[in-house]
Structure 1
Amino acid sequence: MTRRTIFLSGGVVLAALFLGGAMLYRSATSRAAGPQANLALLDRPHAPSVGPADAPVTIVEFLDPACETCAVFYPMVKNLMAQHPGQIRLVLRWAPFHPGSQQVVALLEAARRQDKFWPALETLLERQPYWAINHTADAERAWQQLGSLGLDVEKVRADMASAEVGQLISQDIADAGALNVTQTPEYFVNGRGLPSFGFEQLQQLVDDALRQARRR
C-alpha cells in the first residue's frame, strides 16, 4: 500500500469519523435541550397567543419590547410559523428588563383590550429605534408610533393604570424569575428551553418537536 493510498484511506476514515461525530453532536445537542419546565408557569390563561390551541408545537417566548434581539427574532419566528402552517402556536410572556419597558408593556396590554395587540406589537418592534434609545424605553414615544391604529386614548390611559394590567405584568415577571429567565428573548418549545441561544437552536427544537408529533 502506497503512502498516497494510506493517506486517502486515512482521509476516508477521518471523514467518516467526522461525519459520525457531527451527527452524534447534533443528536446530543438536540437531547441537551433544557429540562421540562413547569407548564403552569409557562402558559398562563392571560398570555396573548397566536396559532391553533391544539397545535402540536407551542413556543413560549419571554419578550421585552425594548430588546433589540427580540425585534430581530420576531419576524424570523413568524416566518418559522408560516413554514409550518397550523402546526405552531406562539405564546408571549413579558420580561420587561429594560428601564421603562414595563410602561410599554402596559401600553401593549391596553391596545390588546381594544383588539389591536398584534398590530401594536409589530409596529413597536419595527419602529423600536424611535422609542427605545440607549437601552431605555420611552412610553410616550412608543405611544406616538401607534397613532395610525385609532386607539381610544382615554381607555388606553385607564387600562394602563388598571390593577388587572398591573397584576398581569407582575405575574409574568414572577414566572420569569421562577423559570430563571434572565435575558430576552427566551424561548421554550413544548416546555423545553434551548440548549444554547440562537435561531438555529430554536429551529432545531421545533423540528424535533414536529417529528415527535408525527410519530404519535
Structure 2
Amino acid sequence: MKKIAFALAAVAVVAGFALGAAWYRQSRSSALEAVARDRAALFVRLHSPVRGAADARVDLVEFTDPACETCAAFAPILEQLLARHPGRVRLVVRYAPLHEGADEVARVLEAARLQGKFWEALHLLYRTQHVWTAHHRVYMESVWQVLPQIGLDMERLRADFADPAVAAVVAQDLADARELGVQKTPGIFVDGRPLEPFGVDPLVALVDAAVRARYPG
C-alpha cells in the first residue's frame, strides 16, 4: 500500500513539474514576444514616414538630423538601395535632431508629413542646408523662406508646427534613438542591426545580406 501511495505521489510530482514547466515556457514565450514587440516599436512607430513597398520584408531605418550634412549625403544612397532591391526593402525615417535648433526643423518636417509632403520637405531641406544652417546652428527664418516652393499650405504648416502633438512625435523619435544607442547621425539599422562600421560599402553589404536572408533562393 505504501508503495502504491509513493508511486501516486511521484506521478503527481512529475505531473505538477510538467505543468509548471509548460506554464513557465508559455510565460517566458509571452514575455519574449512582448519584448520583441516593444523593441520593434523602437524602430518603427505608427507615425514613421515609410518609402517603398508596404510588404517589403527588409526594414532600412534611418535616424536623421535634418541639419546633418552626412544625412544629406546619404539620402541618394538610400534611394539607390530601394531601387537596387525593388519591392524588397522599405526605408523608414525617424527624427534624431542632435544639432542645436534641429528639433524645430524636425517639427517642420512632421508638420509637412501631415500634409503628405514629408519626402518633398526632407529632400528640399537637405538640398538647401547651406541656406539655413551654418556652424552647427539652425536659422529658422531661412527654413521658413525655402518651404513655400514645394506647395505647402504655410498657414497650416505653422499651426501644426506649434501643435504639442507634433513636438511629442519628435520627442518620441529622439527617445527611441537614445534607447537604441544612437549618438550621431545618421543612425542606420537594417532589420534591427546597426550599421557598423559606418560607411557606404558596409551599408550596401548589410542590406544585400538582409535581402538574401529574407528572400532565400
Give the TM-score range, shorter chain: 0.7 to 0.9
Give the counterpart letter for 1:189 in structure 2. V
Displacement, 1:52? 1.2
Quote the residue 1:164 is aligned against: 165
Aligned residues: CA RMSD: 1.5
Quote the residue 2:151 is aligned against: 150
1:145 is paired with a residue whose SS is helix
Task: Report the Cα distance in structure 1 between the residues aligned to 2:102 and 2:176, rounded to whole angstroms.
Answer: 17
Question: Percent of aligned positions with the same letter in both sequences?
Answer: 48
Displacement, 1:65? 0.2
* Stretch moving more, 163-172 or 61-70: 163-172
Displacement, 1:87? 1.3
Give the counterpart letter for 1:48 in structure 2. P
Displacement, 1:108? 1.0
Quote the residue 1:52 is aligned against: 53
Task: Report the Cα distance in structure 1 between the residues aligned to 2:140 and 2:108, rounded to whole angstroms.
Answer: 8
Q: Is the 8 A contact 2:70 2:185 kept in 1?
A: yes
Task: Report the Cα distance in structure 2 between the residues aligned to 1:178 and 1:191, rounded to whole angstroms.
Answer: 13
2:173 is paired with a residue whose SS is helix
List per-residue Cα deviations over 1:33-63 (Å, max 9, x = no partner). xxx9922211111111111121121101000
Quote the residue 1:106 is aligned against: 107
Kindly tell me the number of residue pairs found equivalent between the two proteins: 181
- Scaled by the length of structure 2, the TM-score of the pair is 0.80
1:215 is paired with a residue whose SS is coil
Quote the residue 2:186 is aligned against: 185
Quote the residue 1:121 is aligned against: 122
1:86 is paired with a residue whose SS is coil
Quote the residue 1:41 is aligned against: 42
2:47 is paired with a residue whose SS is coil
Displacement, 1:175? 0.7
Displacement, 1:209? 0.6
Q: Is the 8 A contact 2:112 2:121 kept in 1?
A: yes
- Scaled by the length of structure 1, the TM-score of the pair is 0.80
Deviating beyond 3 angstroms after TM superposition, the runs of 4 or more aligned structure 1 residues are none
Q: Does 1:195 align with 2:199?
A: no
Give the unaligned 5+ runs of structure 2: 1-35
Q: Give the structure, 1 or 2, with the largest relative contact order (CA under 8 Å, sep 6 or more).
A: 1
Task: Report the Cα distance in structure 2 between the residues aligned to 1:163 and 1:156, rounded to whole angstroms.
Answer: 13
Displacement, 1:150? 2.4
Quote the residue 2:33 is aligned against: none
Task: Report the Cα distance in structure 2 between the residues aligned to 1:117 and 1:175, rounded to whole angstroms.
Answer: 20
* Stretch moving more, 40-49 or 58-67: 40-49
List per-residue Cα deviations over 1:84-143 (Å, max 9, x = no partner). 111110001111000110111111111111111111111110111111111112222112
List per-residue Cα deviations over 1:47-82 (Å, max 9, x = no partner). 111111211211010000000000000111101111
Quote the residue 2:65 is aligned against: 64
Structure number with greater Rg is 2
Give the unaligned 5+ runs of structure 1: 1-35
Give the counterpart letter for 1:109 in structure 2. E
Task: Report the Cα distance in structure 1 between the residues aligned to 2:191 and 2:141, rounded to whole angstroms.
Answer: 36
Displacement, 1:195? 2.3
